[in-house]
Structure 1
């Protein structure tokens, strides 16, 4: 028994408790985390790496699936005569938020799980990835969104075109300024949540945070959709707005698309 007690004592001394989160943690000079070095602005060597193209493919597939599922949900609600017979606005919000949760979880280890040019642009400004990778991600995200919306239209063109195509448009009773403001705040909430959920300090002090990171991101998307679907249909994603506008291709969608697209950048710049 004495030998076992000695092992326990040595183990307790060797593996000390983690530094607590809170004000006590902020006063220590010893960092229990390591910030990754800033990514280079240009990294031509990435163009020769298979992992670079695999990450781009992951962003394409994720954005494709995101648009496919979410716009199909919107079409299902729009075509119904009675909103009580459908999932309604809450169901649409769950569709967007749930898909982001699932897709970020699936692709985080491959590409980082951006699925949104605004997120990619924000991470680029924070020097989390190179300009080469950021541009490649944005292109693949937009292409994936266009293809996802195109597949939905291919199922039933009449239904798709007759119900707005899932494009972001400012609702009656709101001005474009209202839509712009709603989208600025919504995009800020999403990008702020992404930065907070992936912070290196949280990674070090709470080992469970990297596993749960997709959850707050998806939940943020869900909450923003609940708030802004009645105003703009909720963009907060330039690829999502662009893909639906390209496939729907009606004047109102393009007129209001400026508000939906501009908001995703101006709060980051």
Structure 2
């Protein structure tokens, strides 16, 4: 991510979700209310070029034709994102129903998960962590859309301060409470040791039966050279993958047991998983900057 600018990837993901919400073949898979709320949030955040014209074009048939072509060129660009949003939403709801009292969305971008669920669970606490530039843009949007009282934003560079330290020092976060962490579209920007550190820090920052829902790139080598170059020029290069068959053993080695995994097809671009903490963990190592 370019210094001082909101993440282009976070903005693009929100825009793709908005386009998908107007597609008859995709919209039923999107969490209820996510499409309209994403549009309101982007408009209120006032980040060029995501203004009325561009966002309004999401409703146009020609935009859907363009998105269909993009899906054919890059399978999963739209369908995979919809599946990812649905999976994360379902896993957080399951964790809340199982007794989690805290939700921590790391690398929140312009996602509306906490914004949608916080009013439904007023007795739970919701936290969004993001880089200051992206978080500040979203804060403008939240101020206009309406931020629930039980939703807090933490603007922090996790390359400079470890997650465990950030949460331990925050007065509202309870390190002994059953919690659910969400790392959606995050791990490909971290090295494998950084991903391991993330698991350890989530364990050290939460109580028994805490959960972690995450997405992961299945095969970094499948990313074309032009895509890799574009991501690097944006300041958001992909650094690691986690093949489908390795996820369960990887998580188990860090003290987490598998709860759910999707998809079963190793040819997909991304996989999603939810794991539950099953043993006490020591503090993880610092999440070094991948830049």
Bigger relative contact order, structure 1 or 2, given CA contacts below 8 A and separation 6+? 1
Q: Which has the higher strand share?
A: 2
- TM-score, normalisation: structure 2: 0.23
TM-score (ref. length: structure 1):
0.24
Structure whose alpha-carbon radius of gyration is higher:
1
